Structure 1
Amino acid sequence: MARIFKQNKFLFYVKGYSQRFLSGKNVEVEIKNLSKNLSQKQKQEVDFRVDYYNKISEKIEFSDAKHTVSDLLHPKTPKAYYFDTYEFAKYFPKNWVIDYEFGDVNSILKRPAICKSRPIFGNNENNILLNLDKARHFVTVKDELKFSDKKDILIGRAAIHQQHRMVFYQKYFGSKFCDLGQVNIIGGNPDWIKPKISICEHLKNKFILSLEGNDVATNLKWIMSSNSIAVSPPLKMETWYMEGTLKPDEHYIGLSENYDNLEEQIQYYLDHPKECLEIIENANRYRGKFNNENIEKLISLLVLKKYFNYIH
């Protein structure tokens, strides 16, 4: 019914550790090679994304810098962040200063640093985004089940720790429009506990709940590559996926801040399947923008180059 494309964790760690034995090529040569076959439209998109991820516009002085590029060769937990950063930082001198904040970042940093996530709103220019922990976050599906053949239900499986997830489940657990389940045993509400289900099982349903956790909702990207539709309240956090550019009822079904219109929204879209197909098409097109490996590598190098230009 569906094929899941995700990075093998063992191979990911082998590749990550092997990078220490490989030196990056000249960064300018690499950027030139990656840029040479791009159309004018692609070049404009690259420029837009570089400036979206890295909003630095002033020279930065780090008198108390703690990290250099070479420090990335000695990964601590979470290791994936070190591997994903060094994949592109290796093209720059090992003794160059680099500041980073790894893990789930859900606040605006006090000074510019490389990180995975940031709030969408506010002066978030200190949070410089790279595609970190991408083996976990950038999962793609090949969904062979048509939207019309899926169940008329909103499926949701999540760990319930954060207050906003608690509120949602309190409102809609048991609703005829939803099949909700809590997958964590400790915390939350024991009455909500249900077994985890696979991505393929999720994709048997027309609508899939996508609630932010500590930062973004991990499942949003693979939902948007499928023939199901993500259902989400207003987005507050963003990553490399540029969640801040997504539009409710264009890329996903939007809920109100307090979730009160969920049943109304689900019923509306059940009654308007053509609009559902338009959302799916928009979502698939948006998700597809991140599938060109050369462009993703080029943007990553340019984000770091811009960062280093302002601190060295």
Structure 2
Amino acid sequence: MNALYYAKSFIYNALPSFFFRWKYGQLKRFEKTCNQKELDTRLDYYFKVQNKYPIPKEATAVKDVKRGKGTAYFLDLKEFLHYFTKEARFAYYFGDDTNVNPYPTLFKARPIRNGNENSILFKLNKRRHFKWVNDTIPYTEKKDMMVWRGGAYRALRREMIEKIWDHPLCNVGQTNKPVEDMPWQKEHLPIEEQLKYKIIFCPEGNDVATNLKWVMSSNSLCFMPKPRYETWFMEGTLKPGVHYVEVNAPYDDLGEKIEYYSKHTDEAQEIIKNANQHVARFQDEMMEDLLCLKVLERYAECSGQENEIKFRA
């Protein structure tokens, strides 16, 4: 699967310039008919820098952007660099770091707090993060339990798994590699098996919870602590009790809330409906591509590189 994905991506990036000129025109025509409020709201959310700024000395010219260790990140950015000249320069970071640089930089994730403006969100590593599911199991027919599988390499997840791994209403476990001799080390559980549970836990790891997107596209209910980081998915706009159920870090309210939402199915399904509606904002491929282009266009314009945009509508 990975090989096929990478092969398609490399072939796409090898297409001739006239294809990207055509694609640019297609996106610009779509811009005239799309939901302008949605476009503007999301663009302003991703790109918070208000003022003009000099090109950061750390910025890389399009012609010099290299794959490095982040192949998926590289491909996701490269897909939209075709719309700019080879001399256009962008500062970017490939990886899970959530540091806020002193200069505007394209990041996959940033902390949810004031003063994060220099971290400009871009849709990076999207194959891993932007997965949706077609869940055919009604909420009322799922198990009255919470499920989770994932890596527990950092302190936050280690503390979490140690506290809840043996909870009678939970089927949770770490899938660390190499395997650790811990009672909470468990086998991988496929997504289709996790969808049989009413509640799926979405704890943050290096940054955001990787499973959050597919969970919110399902008929299961998302449980998680209040998010600290956000990506293109705009986790900072999610509201507890509206899009997900918030649990506290000590997890002493976990059993009570699992029991409550297992019984109060109408309330649970209303939250799930809201979560599904949030997911729908990211399922229009033309809007997604247009927003990626607009983020880079705004970066070029704000850094005085208007002439480095290769095509014009």
TM-score normalized by the length of structure 1 = 0.91
Q: Does 1:218 align with 2:237?
A: no
SS of match in other structure, 1:284: helix
Cα-to-partner distance string for 1:265-308 (whole Å, 9 max, x where unaligned): 11211221110110111111110111111111111111111111
State the distance in 1 between where 2:138 and 2:266 align: 13
Q: Map 1:1-312 onto structure 2 (within 5 A).
A: 8-18=1-11, 19-23=13-17, 24-25=20-21, 29-38=25-34, 42-62=35-55, 64-72=57-65, 74-186=66-178, 190-312=182-304
Could you tell me whether the CA contact under 8 Å between 1:182 and 1:188 is conserved in 2?
no
Name the SS of the counterpart of 1:294 in structure 2.
helix
Cα pair 1:207 1:231 within 8 Å, conserved:
yes
Task: Supply the distance in 2 between the matched residues of 1:187 and 1:35 (Cα, whole angstroms).
Answer: 49
1:66 CA drift (Å)? 4.6
Change (3 A) 1:154 1:108: same
Query: Equivalent residue of 2:200, what SS?
Result: strand
Answer yes or no: is the 8 Å Cα contact 2:56–2:91 preserved in 1.
Answer: no
On the 8 A contact 1:202/1:208 being kept in 2, the answer is yes
Aligned residues: 301
SS class of match (2:148): strand
Residues 163 and 65 of structure 1: is their aligned pair in 2 closer, same or farther, counting only changes over 3 Å?
A: closer
Residues of 2 paired with 1:185 and 1:75: CA distance?
Answer: 26
Higher mean C-alpha deviation, range 46-55 or range 254-263:
254-263
Separation in 2, partners of 1:156, 1:136 = 17
Instruction: Check the 8 A contact 2:56/2:103 in 1, yes or no.
Output: no
Partner Cα distance (1:55, 1:134) in 2: 21
**CA distance in structure 1 between the aligned counterparts of 2:261 and 2:23, rounded to whole angstroms:** 48
8 Å contact kept, 1:181–1:192: yes
Q: Shift of the alpha carbon at 1:105?
A: 2.1
Aligned in 2, Cα 1:21/1:290: closer, same or farther, shift over 3 Å?
A: same
Distance 1:242 1:285 in 2: 13
What residue number does 1:4 align with? none
SS in 1 for 2:94: coil
Q: Give 1:194 deviation, angstroms.
A: 0.7
Provide the alpha-carbon RMSD of the alignment. Answer: 1.7
Where structure 2 has 5 or more consecutive residues not aligned to the other structure, the ranges are 305-313
Residue pair 1:65, 1:97 contacting (<8 A) in 2 also: no
- Report the CA distance between 1:10 and its aligned residue: 2.5
Q: In the TM superposition, what is the alpha-carbon distance from 1:146 to its structure 2 partner? A: 0.9
1:118-171 CA distance string (max 9 Å, x none): 001131111111111101111110001111111110011111111111111122
Amino acid at match of 1:225: S
Post-superposition offset of 1:31: 4.2
Q: 1:239-260: per-residue Cα shift (whole Å, max 9, x none)?
A: 0000000011211111124322
Report the CA distance between 1:188 and its aligned residue: 6.4
CA shift, 1:98, in A, is 0.9
Q: Residue 170 of structure 2 aligns to which amino acid in structure 1?
A: C
| Seq. identity, % | 38
CA distance in 1: counterparts of 2:56 and 2:169, whole angstroms: 56
Alignment-derived partner of residue 308 in structure 2: none
Listed one character per residue, the Cα deviations across residues 209-244 of structure 1 (whole Å, up to 9, x for unaligned) are 100000100100000111111110010010000000
Using the alignment, how far apart are the partners of 1:57 and 1:98 within structure 2? 17
